[in-house]
Chain A
């Protein structure tokens, strides 16, 4: 039993960690640049999942090729990021940047509550199932375990591509460089002509898009139902805190740790499943209060 169950737990953990990473890296990017802990971040995960599931079901109804689901995930995530994320930054967050953190936290919490109810209003309380992409990619055999290629290969590859792409974007593009500059020193960035407000907008849209991409990609692997956003925001907080807030590579490692920890608990100590991510977080923070990769240097992303 134990070897095969270990493999199964590892595969589960990697697939889940990949999704958690996408959400957590968006949150940590937003925090690194804007210093706002966005409680509504998990709602964008849920919105991405709902948008992808409804679009996918509609596309299947129209008889379109199931392969189109893959580009659709990206489109759905970008639409949620640009519309909902863009509107939230432009009309809400821009008004509260100068205020204290408690108020910012309360405002994003209010947005979270509203978005939770918007989901119930639009999609109802019954779960949505959309597993065509899962079937489309078929199964693979790993050490005697048959597992979906979607979860074994596709999700980790997407997470890795996002990690490398994000690092490349921040390092080699002008938009990325100005994001890094504003993160380090907003005033010095303004003094060389950088429009920090536009940088905040761009960062928030990217962060929200990553969260909803996580949701869109999760939709084939789970039933899409109310409350999924709340669970994810707590997990991505745990990942971001474990990694050290603002750490991109750290978020990847922490997401993998928490994903594996959670899946191991599911198989070996199911009663610990829910508490596992926090146990890992507490253990890490006891030893390194600044997080696994947190540093006291000026660099935040």
Chain B
């Protein structure tokens, strides 16, 4: 589904990713773990085209590394960055709808996707009219997930979604992810996390990255 082949990224001539190879299947949930600075976030950003990279990024057999960053989400990739990055000038609902408006989706398609988001994250519906700047950090993570799901029909990249979440919100977030997977068996998820324990309950594979290189890729059963 997604293949990263020999992905290299350097920032200010410091190598951050040193030949990352990663394959994610249709419907697979991958926990991408590693220490801070190991290259988790950079791998996701390179996939979205937000940092220049060399090597190949292949989505469903099609090389997307030459595709402009802003054209990649429309291929079915949703991305929720680490620190939420909501647009505070808009309401929660406007934040969630904006990707659909930008992609020029039909009203029917927009509604279908909104319904999908609200069925997984019903709390977003109540939060809808609130200014995005006024929601709490944890709620903001939910909004960012909802926004990513509007375009993420094939692949969703979630960067440290559990970081800073209160335990009750973290388990609510995990529950939403499980509901998402149950609802759409073909959707692939890559979730970065410094604490792999949180993801064992639903990730199928745990991939460990260290100093810009993949060290380990284990099925969760094997981990147990």
Number of A-B contacts (CB under 8 A): 68
In the bound assembly, the distance between CA atoms of A100 and B74 in angstroms comes to 32
CB atoms of B88 and A299 under 8 A apart:
yes
Does residue A101 face the partner (Cβ distance < 8 Å to B)?
no
Does residue A185 face the partner (Cβ distance < 8 Å to B)?
yes
A residues within 8 A CB of B79? 191
Range of interface residues on chain B?
Answer: 20 to 34
A-B contact pairs, 25 of them (CB 8 A): A174-B102, A177-B94, A177-B101, A180-B89, A181-B89, A185-B87, A187-B50, A188-B86, A188-B87, A190-B50, A191-B73, A191-B81, A191-B85, A192-B73, A192-B98, A192-B99, A193-B70, A193-B72, A193-B99, A193-B102, A193-B103, A193-B151, A194-B102, A297-B88, A299-B88
Main secondary structure of the interface of A (DSSP, over half): helix
Knowing A193-B73, A194-B70 are in contact, say whether A298-B88 is a contact too (CB < 8 A).
yes
Please encode chain A, from 166 to 203, with 1 for each CB lying within 8 Å of some chain B CB and 0 for all others: 00000000100110110011011111111110000000
B residues within 8 A CB of A184? 87-89
CB atoms of B70 and A196 under 8 A apart:
yes
CB atoms of A181 and B70 under 8 A apart:
no
Please encode chain B, from 115 to 153, with 1 for each CB lying within 8 Å of some chain A CB and 0 for all others: 000000000000000000100000000000001001100
Closest to A300 in B: B89
CB atoms of A299 and B70 under 8 A apart:
no
CB atoms of A177 and B90 under 8 A apart:
yes
A residues within 8 A CB of B179? none
B residues within 8 A CB of A299? 88-89, 133
Closest to A186 in B: B50
A195: contacting residue among B70, B87, B99, CB under 8 A: B70
A residues within 8 A CB of B89? 180-181, 184, 299
CB atoms of B87 and A178 under 8 A apart:
no
CB atoms of A191 and B50 under 8 A apart:
yes
In the assembled complex, how far is the CB of residue B90 from the closest CB belonging to chain A, in whole angstroms? 7
In the bound assembly, the distance between CA atoms of A185 and B69 in angstroms comes to 15
A residues within 8 A CB of B60? none
In the bound assembly, the distance between CA atoms of A298 and B89 in angstroms comes to 9
A177: contacting residue among B71, B98, B151, CB under 8 A: B98
A residues within 8 A CB of B147? 192
| Known A177-B101, A191-B48; 19 more pairs at CB < 8 Å | A178-B98, A180-B89, A181-B89, A187-B85, A188-B86, A190-B48, A191-B50, A192-B73, A192-B102, A192-B150, A193-B72, A193-B73, A193-B99, A193-B151, A194-B102, A195-B70, A297-B88, A299-B88, A299-B133
A174: contacting residue among B50, B101, B151, CB under 8 A: B101
Closest to A197 in B: B70
In the assembled complex, how far is the CB of residue B59 from the closest CB belonging to chain A, in whole angstroms? 15
CB atoms of A193 and B71 under 8 A apart:
yes
In the assembled complex, how far is the CB of residue B198 from the closest CB belonging to chain A, in whole angstroms? 24
Does residue B219 face the partner (Cβ distance < 8 Å to A)?
no
Closest to B101 in A: A174
B residues within 8 A CB of A196? 70
Please encode chain B, from 45 to 71, with 1 for each CB lying within 8 Å of some chain A CB and 0 for all others: 000111000000000000000001111
Which of A177, A187, A193: most chain B CB closer than 10 A?
A193
Please encode chain A, from 264 to 301, with 1 for each CB lying within 8 Å of some chain B CB and 0 for all others: 00000000000000000000000000000000011100
Closest to A183 in B: B89
CB atoms of B88 and A188 under 8 A apart:
no
In the assembled complex, how far is the CB of residue B45 from the closest CB belonging to chain A, in whole angstroms? 8
B residues within 8 A CB of A298? 88, 133
Knowing A177-B98, A297-B133, A299-B89 are in contact, say whether A195-B68 is a contact too (CB < 8 A).
yes
Please encode chain A, from 81 to 117, with 1 for each CB lying within 8 Å of some chain B CB and 0 for all others: 0000000000000000000000000000000000000
Interface positions of B from 10 to 62, Cβ below 8 Å from A: 48-50
Which of B48, B87, B103: most chain A CB closer than 10 A?
B87
B residues within 8 A CB of A189? 87
In the bound assembly, the distance between CA atoms of A189 and B86 in angstroms comes to 9
A193: contacting residue among B50, B74, B94, CB under 8 A: B74
